[in-house]
Chains A and B, each alone.
Chain A
Amino acid sequence: MIADLSRLVGPEWVLSGAAAERAYDSDAYTVDRSSPVAIALPKDTAEVAEIVRYCVAQKIPYTARGAGTGLSGGVLPALGGVVISTKRLTAILEIDTENRAMRAQSGVANKKLSDAVKHAGLHFAPDPSSQTVSTLGGNIGENAGGPHTLKYGVTAPHILGITMVNPEGEIVEFGGPTAGLPGSEFIGLIVGSEGTLGVVTEAWVQLTPIPRAIQTALIAFPSVRNATEAVAEIIRLGVIPAALEMMDHGILGALRAAFNLQYPEGTKALLLVECDGDDAAVVAEEMTRVRQVAERQSALSFTEATDERERQKLWTARKKGVGAMGRVAPTVVTHDGVIPRSKLPEMLETVYAVSAEYQIGVANIFHAGDGNLHPCFYFDDRDPDQVRRVVLAGEKVIARCLELGGSVSGEHGIGVEKLDLMAIMFTPDDLEYQAMAKSIFSDGQLCNPCKVLPNQKSCTEHRKRWRGIAW
């Protein structure tokens, strides 16, 4: 196989051996590992197509991989399969600032898309926390979100067109630089399909004007409930912030330990609010209303940025929060669940209760405006009993999300991590319906197999699975 792949892409672009297998045997969901036989690094769509055709002819499973920052095992290779890395698909192919569209290869890092058009006052709006490394292809695979999803949406609305190598090895295109072609649209199905319908090699993306006015505030509250009530009230008033992010006392403790960041005495929760738009007066009015809400919810402080430097400083608490957890414990599990925004107070009470019940520390950082929470359980994975308790705690948290009318995943995807939970969220007919949609593109045998839908045929190599909970 190595020799065959080398003939397709060049021997210097095929990796194999123990070190390569280890580097590519998982994404950031490290509890599950599966060694590929080879990793191929094609340079363009044509080479990707040749690799896929080879795999189809030889009946070898294959998995496309960007930066490997996924958190659900979405790019876990099939045992004995091939990883198709997009590391060389890093060209920005066309920039059309007048029409606010850009065509790029799928290996381009998210932030690089925005950097390329910043001079024209434009950006690629989806901003996952991993944006400096996560790729356009990965963002498409997981329908990535981020802090600014509340106002700007997830990845799907920003994808105008896709070039993909389908599971037959053919190069197919959907959409193009102009949005809204009439008729059933497959882009919405492909985005978020976790690389199981084909290998996306290029995409036309919608560029969004950088707002002329941005106001950012960090608000300290004496309780988590005050903070969640503030979120509800802001939304009820009809204010649509660009971002509405919350961090609880667990995260604050980690930030203090890691970066010596200090907040007012008695702070139990922080709310980061960002309003933006083209009309500075409207943005200022929105922030005034946010301040009034904060005062009604007994805010301890309301710190507003006066320039970009201060704005970045205020964002530190949000962007560094999870990383700071490394100062608190050797191991951190970041869960991903969604509930209706109005259920936030109830859900957080559940998270704290579960933490107490299973005697596992928890810190919460989340996209409050969307109801997308990321409870971070911290523990020592050298202790098997702690591991067992973390698993049980995670199951309870996600189950409660479903009880409250939410979803098992807000942005990390299903991958292999949450396969078992799909049968709780959906009925057998629902899962069959999804399988039908998948079958338009793939029989599920070779193209990133055994992901997303449970109980697929021929997934024997994935039968022994950690019980569907994130690490």
Chain B
Amino acid sequence: MVSPTSFGELAEFVQDSSDVRVSGIWTHSRVNSPTLSLDRLTGIVELQASDQVVTVRAGTRVADLNAELQPYGLEIPLRGFAAWAGYPDSLAAMLSYDLPHGLSRQWGSWRDWVLGLTVVLSDGRIAKSGSRVVKSVAGYDVHKLMIGAQFNLAIPAEIHLRLTPTQAVGEPVVPNESEPATWILRVSRSEFAIAVENEMPILSDPETSTLWLGHRPPESYSHAWAMAIDGSGESWPATSSYYRNRAKQVFDPAGKFSRSWVGNS
């Protein structure tokens, strides 16, 4: 397994490899024989504290980033939630899976926080989209496509992140002791109370109508979706793969990145 420390090393590996599988995504990782670790592509590149923006290497762990930001009164508002939920702990994996957290309605999530993203493409080229400012309409926001792409299209290398003032952020409700959640269920607001009663979640967030469960929920809720977070790759409903396949053909024609999408039909 390769652990690059620079863009150049990462790009060289991706260019030369026919099989790029990123390690350490899930607590119970289902990635067999990973070939690439981002654990050494870490560190803050530039912090603009007064603008509440940081540029950081994609392999950096969220907890480490928040620890470095603490003296400045800034953070990515995930707090202890990600640790409890057993989420992937690197920025690259977090944005690649874009999982709900306990403060999504109040403080947004990855599609709000990622202002710009530098990636390594399947042919080894390095490219970026977005910018370092909180508001920009300059070209196509390809980084929005990479969020949730589960490493299928490119490998994140460096991120411009919007930060949140620590003093404004409340605490997400996290169970003190509980079994680990294995599924996320999101329903409509109108069905949230029923879902809580029926599914008896380990945790629920009424602001976003999200439930964290220890079991696979039934597919009986309207306008709902569910996703396994145990690394199994299961989800419902089946979503159209037409544009995902087209995106895959464009960005990874040789099929060297992850070979499955959570949510694929």
Interface residues, chain A, CB within 8 Å of chain B? 96, 98-100, 142-143, 145, 149, 153-154, 156-157, 172, 174, 176-189, 191-193, 232, 235-236, 238, 240, 338-342, 367, 370-372, 405-414, 418, 422, 425-427, 429-434, 436-441, 452-453
Give, as a whole number of angstroms, the nearest-CB distance from A142 to chain B. Answer: 6
A233 nearest in chain B by CB position: B50
- A185-B144, A407-B131 as given contacts; A176 in contact with B250, CB under 8 Å: no
Flag if B133 contacts A182 (CB, 8 Å).
Answer: no
Flag if A186 contacts B243 (CB, 8 Å).
Answer: yes
- A430-B129, A433-B121 as given contacts; A183 in contact with B135, CB under 8 Å: no
In the complex the two chains form, what is the Cα distance from A413 to B136 in whole Å? 8
Flag if B142 contacts A433 (CB, 8 Å).
Answer: yes
In the complex the two chains form, what is the Cα distance from A397 to B240 in whole Å? 45
Flag if B244 contacts A184 (CB, 8 Å).
Answer: yes
In the complex the two chains form, what is the Cα distance from A176 to B187 in whole Å? 12
Binary interface encoding of chain B residues 161-195 relative to chain A, with 1 for a CB under 8 A from any of its CBs, else 0: 00001111000000000000000001111100000
Query: 24 A-B pairs, CB-CB below 8 angstroms?
Result: A100-B189, A142-B137, A178-B223, A178-B225, A180-B104, A181-B239, A182-B148, A183-B239, A183-B262, A184-B152, A187-B144, A340-B132, A370-B133, A405-B133, A407-B137, A409-B138, A410-B137, A418-B138, A426-B128, A429-B125, A429-B126, A434-B142, A437-B140, A437-B142
User: Which residues from B are CB-within-8-Å of A413?
Assistant: 137
User: Which residues from B are CB-within-8-Å of A453?
Assistant: 139-140
User: Which residues from A are CB-within-8-Å of B187?
Assistant: 178
User: Which residues from B are CB-within-8-Å of A452?
Assistant: 139-140
Q: Is the interface of A mostly helix, strand, loop or mixed?
A: loop
User: Could you list 5 further interchain pairs (A-B, Cβ under 8 angstroms) beyond the known A371-B135, A422-B138?
Assistant: A99-B188, A184-B145, A407-B131, A408-B138, A438-B140
* B137 contact from A178, A412, A427, Cβ within 8 A: A412
In the complex the two chains form, what is the Cα distance from A354 to B263 in whole Å? 53
User: Which residues from B are CB-within-8-Å of A425?
Assistant: 131, 138-139
In the complex the two chains form, what is the Cα distance from A370 to B134 in whole Å? 6
User: Which residues from A are CB-within-8-Å of B73?
Assistant: 238
Flag if B135 contacts A433 (CB, 8 Å).
Answer: no
* B112 contact from A157, A186, A341, A427, Cβ within 8 A: A157
Flag if A184 contacts B247 (CB, 8 Å).
Answer: yes
* B227 contact from A177, A182, A188, A441, Cβ within 8 A: A182
User: Which residues from A are CB-within-8-Å of B125?
Assistant: 429, 432-433
Give, as a whole number of angstroms, the nearest-CB distance from B96 to chain A. Answer: 9
User: Which residues from A are CB-within-8-Å of B166?
Assistant: 238
User: Which residues from A are CB-within-8-Å of B165?
Assistant: 238, 240
Flag if B128 contacts A430 (CB, 8 Å).
Answer: yes
Flag if A372 contacts B135 (CB, 8 Å).
Answer: yes
User: Which residues from A are CB-within-8-Å of B53?
Assistant: 340
B149 at the A interface (CB under 8 A): yes
Interface size classification for chain B = 35 or more
Flag if B144 contacts A189 (CB, 8 Å).
Answer: yes
User: Which residues from A are CB-within-8-Å of B133?
Assistant: 338-340, 370-371, 405-407, 410
User: Which residues from A are CB-within-8-Å of B139?
Assistant: 414, 422, 425-426, 431, 434, 452-453
Flag if B223 contacts A439 (CB, 8 Å).
Answer: no
Tell me the chain B residues, 108-147 only, with Cβ under 8 Å from chain A: 108-109, 111-112, 119, 121, 125-129, 131-142, 144-147
Give, as a whole number of angstroms, the nearest-CB distance from A368 to chain B. Answer: 12
User: Which residues from B are CB-within-8-Å of A342?
Assistant: 48, 50-51
Flag if B134 contacts A178 (CB, 8 Å).
Answer: no
Flag if A433 contacts B129 (CB, 8 Å).
Answer: yes
Flag if B190 contacts A98 (CB, 8 Å).
Answer: yes
A404 nearest in chain B by CB position: B133
Flag if B108 contacts A193 (CB, 8 Å).
Answer: no
Indicate the member of B140, B150, B225 with the most A CB atoms within 10 Å: B140
Flag if A440 contacts B247 (CB, 8 Å).
Answer: yes
Indicate the member of B153, B187, B209, B225 with the most A CB atoms within 10 Å: B225
Give, as a whole number of angstroms, the nearest-CB distance from B13 to chain A. Answer: 18
User: Which residues from A are CB-within-8-Å of B140?
Assistant: 189, 192-193, 434, 437-438, 452-453
B224 at the A interface (CB under 8 A): yes
Indicate the member of A100, A157, A238, A367 with the most B CB atoms within 10 Å: A238
In the complex the two chains form, what is the Cα distance from A208 to B144 in whole Å? 22
B246 at the A interface (CB under 8 A): yes
Indicate the member of B112, B141, B244, B250 with the most A CB atoms within 10 Å: B141
B235 at the A interface (CB under 8 A): yes
B100 at the A interface (CB under 8 A): yes
User: Which residues from B are CB-within-8-Å of A410?
Assistant: 133, 135-137
In the complex the two chains form, what is the Cα distance from A371 to B225 in whole Å? 37
B264 nearest in chain A by CB position: A183
Give, as a whole number of angstroms, the nearest-CB distance from B224 to chain A. Answer: 6
In the complex the two chains form, what is the Cα distance from A238 to B108 in whole Å? 17
Give, as a whole number of angstroms, the nearest-CB distance from B128 to chain A. Answer: 5
Flag if A433 contacts B127 (CB, 8 Å).
Answer: yes
Flag if B225 contacts A181 (CB, 8 Å).
Answer: yes
* B50 contact from A180, A188, A232, Cβ within 8 A: A232
Which 4 pairs between the two chains have the least Cβ-Cβ distance? A188-B144, A433-B127, A238-B165, A407-B136
